[in-house]
Structure 1
Amino acid sequence: MIKSYPFYVKAPIILLGIVILVFMLSVLQDVLVPLAFACLIGILLNPLTNFFQRKLPKVVSIFLSMLIALCGLILLIYFLSSQISHFFENLDGMKTKLQELVHHIQGWLQQQFGISTKKQAQMVNEAANSSKGMIGQTLTGFMGVLSVVFLIPVYVFLMLFYKTLILNFLYEVFSEENQKKVGEILGETKTAIQSYIVGLLIETCIVAVLNSAALLILGVENAILIGVIGAILNLLPYIGGIVAIALPILMVTLTKDGFTTQLLIIGAYAIIQFIDNNILVPRIVSSKVEINALISIVIVLLGAALWGISGMFLSIPFIAVLKIIFDRIDGLKPWGKLLGDTVPTQHMGQLKRFRKKKAVATS
C-alpha cells in the first residue's frame, strides 16, 4: 500500500528539492552548459552521422559530420567578421553623434524628471555592470573559452560514439513495463529537438534576408550586419525581437537626421515579425511541442538569471523536453497542459457547474 502524505508535508520537500537543484545547476555551470549545448548539437548531427555510417566506419562518420558543422560555423564567423570590419570604418562619426544624442537625452531627463547628470551616469554604470555580469557568465574566464574550443566538440563526439550505450542505459534503468513509454519519450524528444533546431536555422536565414533587404532599401548603414544580428536575436522569444528592432533604430539615429527612417524601420520590422510569427514559425519550425507565451518569457528570464546568455538559448529546448515527459506521465499531465499553447474555452469550475445544471434540468 502506497502511503500518501498531506500537502503541507510534500510542499516543503518539493521546494527544498527545487532549491537544491537550482543550486547544483548554478555551481556546476561550467560543466553543464557545454554539456547541454553538446546534447543539442549531437541530436542535430545524429541523422547526418547515421547517413555516413551506412558506408563508412563509425568514427569517420562522426568526424565528417562534425567537420561539416565546423565549416558552416567558420563561414558564419567569416561573414560576420567581414561585416564588422566595415562597421568600424565610420565609427568616429557615430561616436560624435552618440555623444550629442546622450547630451540631449541627459538634458531632457534633468529638465522633465529632475534626475541630475551624476545620478544618470550612476544608473548607466549600474546597468552596464549588470549586463557585464550576465555576459561574463557565458563568455569570460578560462572555462568559457575552454568549453567552446575543447569541451563542446569532445562532448559531441563522445555522445555520438556512445549513443547506443546511453540509450541502452535509459531503457534498462526503468522497469520492463515502462520501457515502451521510455521509447516513446526518447523518440518524441529526438524528433522535437531536431525539427525545432533545423526549423530555427531555416527561419533565421529567411528572417536575416528579410531584415537585410528591408534595411538596404531604407538606406541603413551596415544593413546586412544588423539584419543578421537581428535574426540571431530573434531566436530569443519576445525579448530578442525588441533588441533586434532597437539596433537599426540606434544606427539610423547615429548616422541620419530626422525620424522618418526610424518609423519606416518599425513598420518594416512589424511586417517581418508578422510574416515570421504567422507563416514561418507554424510552417517551417513545425515543432511538435508548442510552449505558451507566458511560460516562454518566464523560462527565458529564469535561464538568463541562472546561466546568462547561454541559459536564454537553452531554456526553450529544455522546457520542450520537459513538456514531452510531462505529457507521457499520468501524474504530470496537468503540468504538460500548463506549459502548452492550447487554451481551453472553459475552466473546470464552469464545466462542473454546466454539467450539474444539465443534470438537474434532465431530471
Structure 2
Amino acid sequence: MLDYLKQWYNRKFSDPNAVTLFLLLVFGVSLIVFFGNLLAPILIAVALAYLLDWPVTRLMHLGLSRLLASIVTFTLFVALALILVVTLVPVIWQQSTTLVTELPEMLTNVQIWLHKLPELFPNIIDQAQINELMQSLRRRAVAMGEQLLTLSLSSIANVMAIMVYLIVVPLLVFFMLKDRDELMSHLNRVLPSNRQLISQVGQEMNLQIMNYIRGKAIEVVVVAVVSFITFFAFDLRYAALLSIMVGFSVLIPYIGAAVVTIPVLLVAFFQFGPTSTFAWIAVAYFIIQALDGNLLVPILFSEAVSLNPVYIIAAVVVFGGIWGFWGVFFAIPLASLVKAVLTAWSSGVEQQTNAG
C-alpha cells in the first residue's frame, strides 16, 4: 500500500508545474474558507468586473480608450442599478409584507379545504391526519415568522456594513475595469515561474467564468421578465415578487426551479382555487421552465464545459455549503475549474512521462 502511494505521489508531483498548481489551489481555497467574509466585497467586485468587462472590450473595439470605455460602462451600470433600486425594491418590499400579513388567512383557507378531504376520500384520509398536518403547518408558519423577524433585526444592525458595501464594491469594480492590464501584470509577477499548468487552466477558466457570469445575468433578466408578463396577464397576486424569485432561482441549477415552484403554485391555488385558471398558470409556468432549460440555457452557455447533472448538483451542495450564496452562484464554473485542473494535471503528467 505504501509503495503504491509512493508511486502515485512520484507520478503526480514529480513535475514542478503540477506542484505549483497544487499549492496555488490549496492557498486559494484556504484563503476563501478562512477569510471568505472579509474578502466578500472583493469577490463581489471581481464578479461584477467580469460581467462589465465585455461591454468595455466592445467599446474599446470601437476606438475608445480603456479609461473612457470603463467610465461609460460603469456610469451606465450605476444608473441602471439606481433605477432598479428606486422602482423595483419598494414594490418587492410591499408585496413581501403583504404576503406575510396574509399568511394566517391563507392557512385558514387551507384548513377549510383540508377538512373537506375526509368527506371526499373517507377510505384514504381521516380527521386525525388533517389535524396533525395543520399543527405542523402552524409550527412552520411560526418558525418562519421568527426567522423573518430575526432577519429584519439583523439587517437593521448591519445597515452600516451594507453602506460600506455600496461604496467599496463600486470603487473596486471601476478600478478593476480601468486598471485590468496593470492588475494582471502584477498577478503574473507574483506567480512562480513554473506555472505552465496554471496558465493553461487560467486561460480556459477566464473564458468560462466570463461567459458564465454574463450568461447568468441575461438568463435571470429574461426569465424574470417573461415570468412577470405571464403572471401579470393572469392577474396573479405578488406577480413582481414571484417573478423575481423565479428569475433568481436559475442561479441554483435544478434545485432552484424545484424550490420556487412551491410558492408560485401555492399563491395561484390560494387565489384561484382548483379552477381552470390555476391549471393554466401551472402550465404556463412549467412551459417557462422548460424553455429556459431546453432553449435559453443552450443558447447562452453554448461555450460552457459540458458537465453531467450529477456533478452540477454535487457542486451546488459542496460549494454552497462552503461559501454560501457565492458558492452556489459559481457552482458550475467551480466544477468546470475542477475538471480543467484534473485535465491539465493528467495531460502534464502524461507529457512528462512520454518525454521521459
Q: TM-score, normalised by structure 1?
A: 0.69
Residues 256 and 313 of structure 1, relative CA distance in 2, 3 Å threshold: same
Q: How does 1:52-131 map to 2 (within 5 A)?
A: 52=59, 58-81=66-89, 83-84=91-92, 87=95, 94-95=102-103, 97-101=105-109, 103=111, 111-112=128-129, 115=132, 121-122=138-139
Return the offset for 1:305: 2.6
> In the TM superposition, what whole-angstrom CA distance separates every residue of 1:231-289 from its partner, at most 9, and x where no partner exists?
22222211211233223222223333335444333322222222221111112232322
Asked if 1:279 is matched to 2:286, the reply is: no
Matched residues in 2 for 1:191 and 1:112: separation?
Answer: 55
Paired with 2:136 and 2:266, the residues of 1 have a C-alpha distance of 23
Q: What is the root-mean-square deviation of aligned Cα atoms in Å?
A: 4.5
Match of 1:32 among 25, 29, 39: 39
Residue 309 (1) aligns with residue 320 (2): no
Of 223-232 and 167-176, deviating more is: 167-176
Report what 2:180 is aligned to. Answer: 163
Which structure is higher in RCO with an 8 Å CA cutoff and minimum separation 6? 2
Is the 2:56–2:70 Cα contact (8 Å) retained in structure 1?
Answer: yes
Structure 1 pair 290–135 and aligned structure 2 pair: CA distance change class (3 A): farther
Q: 2:245 aligned with 1:229, yes or no?
A: yes
What is the aligned counterpart of 1:46 among 45, 53, 71?
Answer: 53
Contact 2:219 2:250 in 1 (8 A): no
Structure-2 change in CA distance of 1:93 and 1:308 (3 Å): closer
Measured after TM superposition, the shift of residue 308 of structure 1 is 3.0
Within 5 Å, give how 1:165-244 maps onto structure 2.
Answer: 165-172=182-189, 173-175=191-193, 178-179=195-196, 182-244=198-260
- 2:82 and 2:203 mapped to 1: Cα distance? 31
Distance 1:69 1:279 in 2: 27
- Give the TM-score normalised by structure 2: 0.70
Structure 2, unpaired ranges of 5+: 11-23, 118-125, 350-356
In the aligned structure 1, how far is the partner of 2:324 from the partner of 2:148?
A: 9
Structure 1: distance between partners of 2:217 and 2:324: 22
Matched ranges for 1:342-361 at <5 A: none
Aligned pair partner of 1:153 in 153, 170, 185: 170
- From the superposition, tell whether residues 230 and 89 of structure 1 become closer, same or farther in structure 2 (CA, over 3 Å): same
Percent identity of equivalent pairs? 21
Report what 2:280 is aligned to: 264
Contact (CA 8 Å) 1:87, 1:222: kept in 2 or not? Answer: yes
Q: Deviations over 1:47-93 (max 9, x none)?
A: 33345557556544433322222222223333423543773796698
More off after superposition, 32-41 vs 217-226: 217-226
Find the aligned partners of 2:277 and 2:139 in 1 and give their Cα distance: 32
CA 1:84/1:314 → structure 2, altered by over 3 Å: closer, same or farther? same
Give the whole-Å Cα distance in 1 for the aligned partners of 2:209 and 2:156. Answer: 25
Match status 1:253 vs 2:269: yes
**Which of 136-145 and 289-298 deviates more?**
136-145
- The change in CA–CA distance for 1:135 and 1:289 in structure 2 (over 3 A counts) is farther
**Following the alignment from structure 1 to structure 2, what is the Cα–Cα distance between the partners of residues 332 and 287?**
24
**Structure 1 residues 49-58 or 104-113, which shifts more?**
104-113
Q: Is the 8 A contact 1:98 1:254 kept in 2?
A: yes
Describe the shift of the 1:184–1:68 C-alpha distance in structure 2 as closer, same or farther (beyond 3 A): farther
* Contact 1:199 1:284 (8 Å CA) reproduced: yes
Structure 2 CA distance for aligned equivalents of residues 113 and 7 of structure 1: 63
Equivalent position to 2:335, from 310, 319, 324: 319
